[in-house]
Homo-oligomer: A and B are copies of this chain.
């Protein structure tokens, strides 16, 4: 449909310099290939379409006429980072709630809550998180009555810093029908006054009584959440991501941004359910939409739970809970049915597998399905945290992608030792072994579970140490990989893992000009230095979309975009 571009064409042909070729010169350019080999360069030429047309060495000049020349001032340029596993809308919606994590007293918290309620008169509930009565120097939980004194016109529902309790006002308790007659549910507790009435704080499973009544976000909130998530990702140099568990609501929100013209980040989407996958994609994966900014690749499936909560499926019982081997979220038959239905129409499949039993079952299922569903499938194992070494070879045999989150290793290491015992860690967060077996590594953050900082991930991947440099020498240090391999897992291989290779992920002719200016070369830095590398600018499709030196966002948000009539 040529005509649909015609309105833009008229404008552009009149002012053809606006999208003329741009030469970005004098950079310390780095691009990593899928095998970890590095290309270094001094400049690149960006086409009218935001793609790279030439990569230049020192002293080279572009072969064709250039309208603009930008001096890179010798700064380090790397490909835009690609987060191989994150949750876009969760990340964004988290930015909209009241953050009480910095409060030092109950009074300060109450005053922040009152101010937030006054500033958000249209929000039907006040939702927040991060309070901790111990930090406040309070030797008891706060009460509903204390909240009622500052907000009595609508429910207030605030999650404690440890995620294991919520504090509500009277309207929140009433919304959950929590009364003196309500019994403590299994695995939960209702804090009570002397007369048995609920005091205001609910613990663990009791929180569901109220949380289930919280209204879903308004569409305006979803739009704003997406915008905030995008800003956050761009500020960390992330130019593309795999969205794990895209709902139809999420998809519609992303399309609104694309239609309105403010979607910048590139999203490889994996639907939250088979029904949503078929609803969005129809007979197969969608096209690449908005100039390579959005595609539904396939389906996300959850096979087991997490290690911390002992939900990961293990081959042997938990070392610290001998009767327990975890809880399956999807049966082996269901898994195969889902994979088969998705593969039938060439949807890609990304399966969350954390424990060694879950990984073994998934690898076995891939082995079975790969006989019928041949061709370029790029089966994805999400997390692949604990893999029995006897199952590892399958990663190479079927070209399987291990989509891993290096920071999980440093967050989880001591917990993992407790859950598994020291003897069962050979295949724990074992990115080196997976690489050696011929698997492909794609790295991500699982944000908002972990911060969206790719440089911390690279530091963890090459050192197996946390931000404090612990443990000295690294945890299972034989699993470290090179800086180049880690950068590839955050760029070229994360693109490949989402069928985006050739479109973005490398700085090479024909790919989109998505890149980041960094304060230092991460390939020549110590792990500690890597954590301190600053993202100075982020560019997508040859346009600067984030600049650390500029206070105001470079991208207009949903309302700005509306006002501008885009």
Contact in complex: B256, A291 (CB < 8 Å)? no
A279 at the interface (CB under 8 A from B): yes
Q: In the complex, which range does the number of interface residues on chain A fall in? A: 35 or more
Contact in complex: B282, A49 (CB < 8 Å)? no
Report chain B residues within 8 Å CB of A10.
47-49
Query: What secondary structure prevails in chain A residues at the interface with B?
Result: helix
Cα separation A290 to B289 with both chains bound (whole Å): 13
Contact in complex: A12, B5 (CB < 8 Å)? yes
9 inter-chain pairs at a CB distance below 8 angstroms, sorted by A residue, are A2-B12, A4-B290, A4-B291, A5-B5, A9-B13, A10-B49, A13-B13, A252-B282, A283-B558
Cα separation A261 to B262 with both chains bound (whole Å): 22
Within 8 A of B (CB), among A1-18: 1-13, 16, 18
A24 to chain B, nearest CB (A): 16
Whether A2 touches B18, Cβ cut-off 8 Å, given contacts A220-B283, A279-B248, A281-B219, is yes
Contact in complex: B543, A50 (CB < 8 Å)? no
Measured CB to CB, the nearest residue on chain B to A7 is B49
Chain A residues within CB distance 8 Å of chain B: 1-13, 16, 18-19, 47-50, 218-220, 222-223, 248-249, 252-253, 255-256, 259-263, 278-283, 286-287, 289-291, 541-543, 558, 566
Contact in complex: B9, A8 (CB < 8 Å)? yes
Contact in complex: A49, B3 (CB < 8 Å)? yes
Cα separation A409 to B545 with both chains bound (whole Å): 59
Contact in complex: B8, A2 (CB < 8 Å)? yes
A266 to chain B, nearest CB (A): 12
Whether A566 touches B48, Cβ cut-off 8 Å, given contacts A223-B283, A279-B249, A282-B223, is no
Q: A4-B291, A8-B9 are in contact. List 15 more A-B contacts (CB 8 A).
A: A2-B12, A3-B543, A5-B8, A6-B19, A6-B50, A7-B49, A9-B12, A9-B49, A10-B47, A13-B16, A219-B278, A252-B280, A253-B282, A255-B255, A259-B287
Contact in complex: A19, B8 (CB < 8 Å)? no
Cross-interface CB contact of A48 among B9, B50, B256, B542, cutoff 8 Å: B9
A432 to chain B, nearest CB (A): 39
Report chain B residues within 8 Å CB of A8.
2, 5, 8-9
Measured CB to CB, the nearest residue on chain B to A1 is B261
Cα separation A250 to B403 with both chains bound (whole Å): 34
Report chain B residues within 8 Å CB of A220.
282-283
Measured CB to CB, the nearest residue on chain B to A18 is B2
Report chain B residues within 8 Å CB of A290.
1, 4
